[in-house]
Amino acid sequence: MFIIFLLIGISVTVASGFLLAFLWAVKSGQYEDDYTPAVRMLFENEATSGNSKDSSRK
Amino acid sequence: MDTALQTNIQTCYHCGDSCVEELIVAHEKAFCCAGCKNVYELLEENNLCTYYSFEQSPGTTAKRAAALSRFAYLDDAGVEAQLINFKNDTICKLTFYIPQMHCSSCIWLLENLFKLNAGVSESTVNFLRKEVSITYFHQKTTLREVVQLLAQIGYEPAITLADTDGKKEKKKSNSLIFKLGVAGFCFGNVMLLAFPDYLALGEEVQRDYGKFFGYLSLLLSLPVFFYSAQGFFVSAIQGIRQRMVNIDLPIATGLLALFCVSVYQIVTGTGPGYLDSFTGLVFFMLIGKYFQQKSYDTLSFDRDYTSYFPVSVTVLKENGEEESVAVRNLKVGNRIRIRNQELIPADAILLRGSAMIDYSFVSGESEPVEKVVGEVIYAGGRQVGESVELEVVKEVSQGYLTQLWNDTVFSKNEEQTMETYANVAGKWFIIVTLIVAAGALAYWVPRDISMAMKAFTSVLIIACPCALSLSTPFVHGNTLRIFGKNKFYLKNTAVVETLAKIDTVVFDKTGTLTEPSAAELTYSGKALTREQERLIRSVLQHSTHPLSQRIFQHLKGETLEVQDFKEVAGKGISGEVEGVLVRLGSASYIGVNTDKVKDTLKTTVYVSLNGKVLGYYTFFNVYREGLKEVLQQLKGSKIAVLSGDNDHEEARLRELLGKEAELNFNQSPVQKLEYIQHLKKQHRHVLMVGDGLNDAGALKQSDAGVALTNSITNFSPSCDAILDATAFDKLSKFLGFSKKTMNIILASFAVSLLYNVVGLTLAVQGLFTPIISAVLMPISSISVILFATLSVRFAAKKAGL
């Protein structure tokens, strides 16, 4: 019998994890622009340019 | 060099324009102008030619590039502070609106700005909003340098007065999405816990886990009650305070009854409650709200004059030096220089140069107006031709144009229209519900007290008009989407309902009924020979006057050399070609007597060769394609035209619009506004279609203001809807369709009422159980959503949208 309480507890915890992930995603603005990232990932990183562009990551 | 082998017309490698006027061949590529070539060279130097590999000729033409010195005002600390979003010791962050952005090459180049200017640390594009967010090190570069770089590569950011007004963009609220997420999470889990009841697993499960399941669901529905459903309760209370019944009142009553009964049942252990229905309803209704809130946030519907005005202007100092000054700091008495295509920011007196002011934006007049030295030029006009010097007579905020914005229409907040379908239905709904609930109570009390309570609460629960409240947002939301697909963008869903009530349509003439870029011209008089046309064309090519340019484009033939070319401002031009004296211009310039008043109103250009008058060109407006059909289909409504132009087109308009139409000419922006007010006093529902700043007052005053624009990313005055000019011929269809959507709403009301009747019959008999509610509530919600969505789609297909 105890197993049911345990399982429900786990399932609710996992579900809350997803809820928090969703809220975080909304808050961090991931839904604000749903076009540009799709184009951006197709640009190739050229090796020619000397300075690396690591600082560009948010 | 395969390009050289092709037939004469080549397209520019950078911008894709055909190289008609000029052809520059450099680096084995063809360019239409030096500007385009420079951009290409700049990119090549920096190894950025990948730009050209994503799209064919992705650039924007650099022909009209102006001096970079005009960005000097960006060095001003005050201006800088207003534009920048964030600044610390090392970096500055800001966002620019870049109207020229149009393809993936643009994204690529704008995100590689750091290769062109080492001071830029990062640039991120939001393509849909046409914005680029730039972070730069302010020790290595300046704001001005960044903007100049953007302008150099053809992406000049639009920096207008509105940006420096300190009105920071309001952050889009995500709270509805948060509420929706929480409600969805709780709904799913509560429903899972309610499963034993659905499957009727019986006493055993209920005894062992009933209490645990009950309290857990109660715990899960608390955030829904206190957070997600908050909006409904707040709105209901506000309604009561204003002594108004809105649709949220019966909803709030239903939700409250549902929640309280469930808590009572769980705490006393008398039953499992209806928390699954409760959370589900809140979830579905929030989806409806989300749908209703959806709008085109990439478009801007609330612009005022400050969005049109430039931020800076060239001021001439006493020693003759030019200085770029922020428009806000412009003082009376300042001397300013306005170049070709620049906007005059403040009322000013013309001091030097011949001004041709294009007021089409402000007053709706189709032809540029000639101004002579000493005349006052009102703000908002655009100079066409050479650069002129002016002296400011009024500050920007005191100008003629800005006065329009002092009208009360603009200061008043838009009040919520309470008389929407849903609110009217809600009022009747709660009355009927209360009567039925009281009836059930009266019937059961003498017989069975506990049954009476059950029946009473069941009625309140089941009568919750949730399905009713869902139908409107979904019908409107889908309509919004269908209109959007057809290039008609509504500000919000409420506009659909306003459109359905329209019985009067008012049009602006210039730019709305007419095509702004085209004008038809006809020639009357003695027929011209090929040779004569060539002579005329040769003279015309030296004139920058818009009328000259139009005739020039109309005529054909090679141009010849012109001697002794003269241009008398506001009158005409003359020149000698192959020994023939060619004169073109107004009737008085040529020396023709015009007796008929009618003719002087028309725009005409007379032609004379060797002193002999041959004839004249007359300019006509070109009306938009499909105008006739649109007007025909609008026959049911009253039609009126407000024009800032003179009445020389009256006969043609009359023919198009019919006898009943009201035609008003020479209307100032304020008169337009008053005309709409006058119509509204007669209890008419007015739709105003306009395009320029001169219509801004009328658009705002009307029930539904539609701004017509050739490019939706261009500036359009504040309005309720933006219509792309290419979809103008569908205007009557849009109106007709919004009327139809009202019928669909009524039909879905009927569907949800059907469920309520079934539910109420069960409720008054006291047969309402959790299992019935678990089945009935989601089914009624989902079927109303489906019905609304599908019938709108179907109706749209039938209407051809």
- The domain locations on chain B are 2-54, 68-159, 175-296+417-475+740-799, 308-404, 487-515+624-737, 516-621
pLDDT of residue A48: 46
A36–B212: do the CB atoms touch at under 8 Å? no
Inform me whether the pLDDT recorded for B764 exceeds 60: yes
Among A39, A29, A54, CA closest to B125: A39
Among the ranges given (B17-21, B41-45, B573-577), the one the predictor scored with the smallest mean pLDDT: B17-21
Q: Which residue of B has its CA nearest to A16?
A: B185
pLDDT of residue B186: 94
Burial category of B558 from C-beta neighbours within 10 Å (exposed 0-12, middle 13-18, buried 19 and up): exposed
B87's tokens:
């600044």
Among the ranges given (A50-54, B216-220, B478-482, B629-633), the one the predictor scored with the smallest mean pLDDT: A50-54
What is the C-alpha end-to-end distance of chain B, expressed in Å? 48
Give the three-class secondary structure for B679.
helix
Rounded Cα gap, residues B471 and B158, in angstroms: 41
Set of chain A residues whose Cβ sits within 8 Å of the Cβ of B128? 33-36
Q: Which CATH entry fits the domain spanning B487-515+624-737: 3.10.129.10, 3.40.50.300, 3.90.420.10, 3.40.50.1000?
A: 3.40.50.1000
pLDDT of residue A57: 38
Between B493 and B482, residue with greater pLDDT: B482
A12–B188: do the CB atoms touch at under 8 Å? no
Between B256 and B166, residue with greater pLDDT: B256
Among B76, B205, B70, B149, CA closest to B132: B149
Set of chain B residues whose Cβ sits within 8 Å of the Cβ of A52? none
Among the ranges given (B50-64, B137-151, B372-386), the one the predictor scored with the smallest mean pLDDT: B50-64
pLDDT of residue A50: 40
In this predicted model, what pLDDT tens digit does every residue of B669-680 receive, in sequence order? 778 888 988 998
Q: Which of A18, A56, A57, A58 best tests the B interface by mutation, with the highest count of B CBs <10 A?
A: A56
Give the amino acid at B153: I
CB–CB contacts below 8 A, A to B: 66
Q: Let me know: does B614 contact B525? Beta carbons within 8 Å.
A: yes
Inform me whether the pLDDT recorded for B358 exceeds 80: no
Whether A5 and chain B come into contact, CB under 8 Å, resolves to yes
pLDDT of residue A55: 39
Inform me whether the pLDDT recorded for B594 exceeds 70: no
Inform me whether the pLDDT recorded for B591 exceeds 60: yes
Give the three-class secondary structure for B62.
coil
Question: How close does chain A come to B786, measured CA to CA in Å?
Answer: 26
Non-local (6+) Cβ contacts of B473 within 8 A are: B288, B289, B291, B292, B493
Q: ipTM of this predicted complex?
A: 0.79
Q: What is the mean pLDDT of chain B?
A: 80
Whether A49 and chain B come into contact, CB under 8 Å, resolves to yes
Inform me whether the pLDDT recorded for A51 exceeds 70: no
pLDDT of residue A19: 94
A19–B121: do the CB atoms touch at under 8 Å? no
Q: Let me know: does B164 contact B307? Beta carbons within 8 Å.
A: no
Q: What angle do CA B184, B185, B186 make, to 5 degrees?
A: 95
How large is the average pLDDT for residues A11-30? Answer: 91
pLDDT of residue B614: 83
Question: How close does chain A come to B178, measured CA to CA in Å?
Answer: 6
Q: What is the mean pLDDT of chain A?
A: 76
B127–A35: do the CB atoms touch at under 8 Å? yes
Q: Let me know: does B214 contact B223? Beta carbons within 8 Å.
A: no
Neighbours of B266 (CB within 10 A): 21
How large is the average pLDDT for residues B686-712? Answer: 82
Nearest to A26 among B107, B121, B177 (CB): B177
Whether B298 and chain A come into contact, CB under 8 Å, resolves to no
User: CA torsion sign, B261 to B264 to B268 to B269?
Assistant: positive
Of B590-604, B675-689, B759-773, where does the model show the most confidence? B675-689
Domain B308-404: assigned CATH number: 2.70.150.10
Q: Let me know: does B609 contact B709? Beta carbons within 8 Å.
A: no
Rounded Cα gap, residues B273 and B277, in angstroms: 9
Q: Let me know: does B356 contact B337? Beta carbons within 8 Å.
A: no
Q: Which of A36, A46, A51 best tests the B interface by mutation, with the highest count of B CBs <10 A?
A: A36
The architecture CATH gives domain B68-159: 2-Layer Sandwich (3.30)
Q: Predicted confidence band at B791 (pLDDT cuts at 50, 70, 90)?
A: very high
DSSP B370-405: EE-TT-EE-TT-EE-SS-EEEEE-S-GGGSHHHHHT
Cα separations (Å) of B733 from B140, B197, B705, B795?
56, 51, 17, 12
pLDDT of residue B3: 43
Q: Which of A40, A45, A52 best tests the B interface by mutation, with the highest count of B CBs <10 A?
A: A40
Buried b (16+ CB within 10 A) or exposed e, B325-342: bbbbbbeeebbbbbeeeb
Inform me whether the pLDDT recorded for B2 exceeds 50: no
How large is the average pLDDT for residues B707-736? Answer: 80
Rounded Cα gap, residues B345 and B362, in angstroms: 12
In this predicted model, what pLDDT tens digit does every residue of B626-642 receive, in sequence order? 888 888 888 788 888 88
B614's tokens:
């041959």
In this predicted model, what pLDDT tens digit does every residue of B613-671 receive, in sequence order? 888 888 777 788 888 888 888 878 888 888 877 777 788 888 888 778 888 888 877 78
Fold of B516-621: Calcium-transporting ATPase, cytoplasmic domain N (3.40.1110)
B107–A40: do the CB atoms touch at under 8 Å? yes
How large is the average pLDDT for residues B243-260? Answer: 84
How large is the average pLDDT for residues B84-90? Answer: 84
Q: Which of B93, B106, B178 best tests the A interface by mutation, with the highest count of A CBs <10 A?
A: B178
pLDDT of residue B230: 92
How large is the average pLDDT for residues B394-422? Answer: 63
Rounded Cα gap, residues B114 and A5, in angstroms: 57
Portion 186-205 of B in contact with A at CB < 8 A: 188-189, 192-193
Q: Let me know: does B664 contact B654? Beta carbons within 8 Å.
A: no
Whether B178 and chain A come into contact, CB under 8 Å, resolves to yes
Rounded Cα gap, residues B371 and B356, in angstroms: 6
**pLDDT over 90 for what percent of chain B?**
7
Rounded Cα gap, residues B295 and B298, in angstroms: 9
Inform me whether the pLDDT recorded for B490 exceeds 90: no
Tell me what percent of chain A is helix, strand and coil, each rounded to the nearest 5.
60, 0, 40
pLDDT of residue A11: 92
Portion 6-35 of A in contact with B at CB < 8 A: 8, 11-12, 15-16, 18-19, 22-23, 26-27, 31-35
In this predicted model, what pLDDT tens digit does every residue of B532-542 receive, in sequence order? 888 888 888 77
